[in-house]
Amino acid sequence: MGALDGIKILELARVAPGELCTMLLADMGADVLKVETPDPNAAGDAEAARRAAFSFVNRNKRSLSLNLKAPEGQAVFRKLATSADVIVEGFRPGVMKRLGADYDTIQALNPRIVYCSLSGFGQDGPYQSYPAHDMNYLSMAGMLGLIGEGDRKPAIPLNVVADYGGASLHGALGIMIALFARERTGRGQHVDVSYLDTSISLLAATPNMRFFFSDGRAPKRGAGFLGGSYPYYAIYDTKDAKLLTIGCTEPWLWENFCKAIGRPDFAKHARKPDQFVRAANAEEDAARREIEAVIKTRTRDEWYEILVGADVCVGKVYDVEEVPGDPQVRHRQMVVDVEHPTHGHIRQFGVAIKMSDTPGSIRRAAPASGEHTEHVLKDLGYGADDIAALRTRGVV
């Protein structure tokens, strides 16, 4: 039994951050129904259906194809919403109102609904209708300008920060808080999650922002003790042209590293209190370069074994293909096989949140678009003739 068994969620995400938000809840037992735009070409595309089954963010879900621009489609959605616990939508503000499915409309039908809106800039404010993506939010949050080396343009951190660390995780947390509050009040509420807001919050939690408001000390790209310029927190080249990460921000761990590479004299370059926002000085930079020369004398994996044995914070910079084979990843079941009725074994990354009493699970691979349409409509009381008519009119 999952922790969220019995919780019904309607997903109108359209993009992957909303899909990951609901997947995290589906893994814990929630019944997530994806509401997708009907695609008349989807049924005949076997290759697209095969690939869809491997979708990480859509596992443990069902799929309903429904045209929300049609009045009949809106009626079907409102019927679903009357018995739902959660709605997650990822449109720009105002779109759901035009579709007759905004929070006020649904809340009048179902006062217990928890309605989560994931949008770039939130449901109000001067930017609410602007389009943007992950990199745009990070740039406006002040985060992108801090990532990378000081003498180059900022490095783009894929789309993991604003999209997933920001919207997905904050959305899932907001939903859980609202469900918890509903247990006390009996009422649902609107959860308004902004990609920009959450990016600012994530940046604010970093150590290099510690003295921004208190002392007016603003960090710069490539500076600060986590910026990569200091020898104790850096990426090093190895003999086999691979990379190794060293993250010894505690003086005693740095001392362990210095002893392990045969340079105990470098222990004097341990982290100091004045390094929150400044870059490494000439002496510290020279030490990092000397250490790199030492690290280049052995392979990545040789150094990893040596440094793990010396109690050092060290990591291999893996290529993606190497991750599934790592013994810790395999032990923690972060790569698993899911049975699919058509495609056999579907390899997936596993459930990251480990629960001792109500563990998450992967109960089904991701659905093809509209795979469960007929079943869902029958559960709502639609007969075979009604469903056929809806298909003819392009409603489903």
- DSSP percent split of the chain into helix, strand, coil, nearest 5: 45, 15, 40
Distance (Å, whole) CA 154 – CA 326? 30
How distant, in Å, are the alpha carbons of 6, 315, 318, 337, 349 from that of 325?
A: 36, 15, 10, 14, 12
Q: Count of alpha carbons within 13 Å of 107, Cβ hemisphere only?
A: 13
For residues 233 and 248, the answer to whether their CB atoms sit within 8 Å is yes
* Contacts (Cβ under 8 Å, ≥6 apart) of 216: none
Distance (Å, whole) CA 335 – CA 368? 22
Known catalytic residue: 163? Answer: yes
What's the angle, vertex CA 369, arms to CA 364 and CA 371, rounded to 5? Answer: 60
Distance (Å, whole) CA 197 – CA 367? 32
What's the angle, vertex CA 94, arms to CA 93 and CA 100, rounded to 5? Answer: 130
Write out the two tokens for 142. Answer: 């002040």
How far the first Cα of the chain sits from its last, in Å, is 32
Q: One of 163, 285, 311, 379 is an active-site residue; which one?
A: 163
Q: How many CB atoms lie within 10 A of CB 41?
A: 8
Residues present in the chain in total: 396
DSSP string of 154-213? PPP-TTIIIIIIIIIHHHHHHHHHHHHHHHHHS---EEEEEHHHHHHHHHHTSGGGTTHH
* Contacts (Cβ under 8 Å, ≥6 apart) of 148: 154, 155, 221, 222
Secondary structure class of 61 (helix, strand, coil) = strand
Residues serving a catalytic function are 163
